[in-house]
A and B are shown apart, each in its own frame.
Chain A
Amino acid sequence: MSTLEVGKIVPATGTAITLGESGDTLTVPSGATLAVASGGTLANSGTATGFGGNNPSFSAYAASTGLSTATYNKITAGTEIYDVGGCHDTSTGKFTVPAGEAGKYAVWTRSTVSNTAGIVVANMGQWIYLNGVANQKNYHGAPANSTSAMTQTFFSVFDLSAADYLEWYIWITFSSGTMTLDAGIDYNSWGAYKLAGV
């Protein structure tokens, strides 16, 4: 194998240069950097792999969960739809930022709750706890004398460090009896994914 030692490669004619031929692999060795200078463009018209995308990411849903009135009720999503990066624990219900994955994360929840006949719901909220402390919420009062099933969603972006963890809680206030987070993917889920490029 011969070595080509030059400081600059420019086209003999025109403005385009092709490196290699179909089937070849061009390698940037370990310790080397392929740099795109300010004002330059790296344009992709083919397939780009290994750039991470919006990962780590996960989505999971919970079984039927009884809710106590005027209480922060922890929701543990015991079944995962996907978990890229092993960031979600189905036993503790925690999403934990893996080592080296600090950044901005989009987080959502979706909850349908229902009740036994005659219960009046005063208010309901989705709460995300950060490292064990209530951090962000979506909270609203329910329609007066609301006695039927209802669905609430939450979406927000968190700026997280490695080892930070999030938990999903539901706050709800109702008159008496039993309120329940309905079971399964048709009625509840939560998840998170890392935002690429920000």
Chain B
Amino acid sequence: MITANGLIQLGFEVTTDFTLQNDGDGVYIKEWLSDKPKPTTADIEIAHAEWQAEYDAEQIAKQERLASAKSKLEALGLTTEEVKEAFGI
């Protein structure tokens, strides 16, 4: 499947290098504006999987940092409610 995130992962920029459109039958490249060759759908799918893995890892790391911060604050004596009200975590 063609995705913007896959194309971005390959180094292209939205509207500068490409525009995508979906008329109801799936996403396709409406305009290819880059001077570089247009990647194949398979290339885009591989790049999208790489982007998704990086994004998921980033989200997990973010959650771990928040949990660590919360734990340290509670170790200092703050209650769960105080941490939530003061820091939103």
Q: Which A residues touch B40, using CB under 8 A?
A: none
User: What residues on B are CB-neighbors of A73 within 8 Å?
Assistant: 21-22
Interface-forming stretch among B23-31, B65-73, B75-83? B23-31
Q: Answer yes or no: A69 CB below 8 A from chain B CBs.
A: yes
A35 to B66, CA, bound (A): 79
Complex partner residue of A69 from B5, B21, B30, B59, CB under 8 angstroms: B5
Q: Which residues of B contact A175 (CB under 8 A)?
A: 55
* Given A175-B55, A176-B5, A176-B52; A68-B27 close (CB under 8 Å): yes
Q: A176-B5, A176-B52, A176-B55 are in contact. Are A70 and B14 (CB under 8 A)?
A: yes
Contact size class for A? 10 to 19
CA distance A68 to B14 in the complex (A): 13
Closest-CB distance, A169 to chain B (whole angstroms): 8
**Min CB distance, B20 to chain A, in Å?**
4
A-B contact pairs, 6 of them (CB 8 A): A70-B5, A70-B14, A71-B20, A71-B27, A72-B30, A76-B24
B9 lies within 8 A of chain A by Cβ:
no
Chain B contact residue count (CB 8 A cutoff): 16
| Chain B residues within an 8 Å CB radius of A68 | 3-4, 20, 22, 27
A104 at the interface (CB under 8 A from B): no
Cα distance, A60 to B5, chains bound together (Å): 32
Complex Cα–Cα for A72 and B23 (A): 8
Cβ B22 vs Cβ A72 within 8 A? yes
Verify A74–B14 contact, CB threshold 8 A: no
Q: How far does the alpha carbon of A72 sit from the alpha carbon of B14 in the complex, in Å?
A: 12
Distance between Cα atoms of A73 and B4 in the complex (Å): 13
Q: A69 CA to B4 CA in the complex, in Å?
A: 6
> Contact partner of A74 among B3, B8, B22, B55, CB < 8 A?
B22
Which residues of B are in contact with A by a Cβ distance under 8 Å? 3-5, 8, 14, 19-24, 27, 30, 52, 55, 59
Assess whether B20 is in contact with A70, with CB atoms less than 8 Å apart: yes
What is the CB-to-nearest-CB distance from A151 to chain B, in angstroms, rounded to a whole number? 21
The residue in chain B whose Cβ has the minimal distance to the Cβ of A70 is: B4
Q: Which residues of B contact A76 (CB under 8 A)?
A: 24
A169 to B55, CA, bound (A): 28
Residues of A within 8 A of B59 (CB): 118
Q: Indicate whether A173 reaches chain B with its CB closer than 8 angstroms.
A: yes
> A74 and B24: CB pair below 8 A?
yes
Given contacts A118-B59, A173-B14, A176-B52, contact A72 B3 (CB under 8 A): no
Q: Which residues of A contact B30 (CB under 8 A)?
A: 72
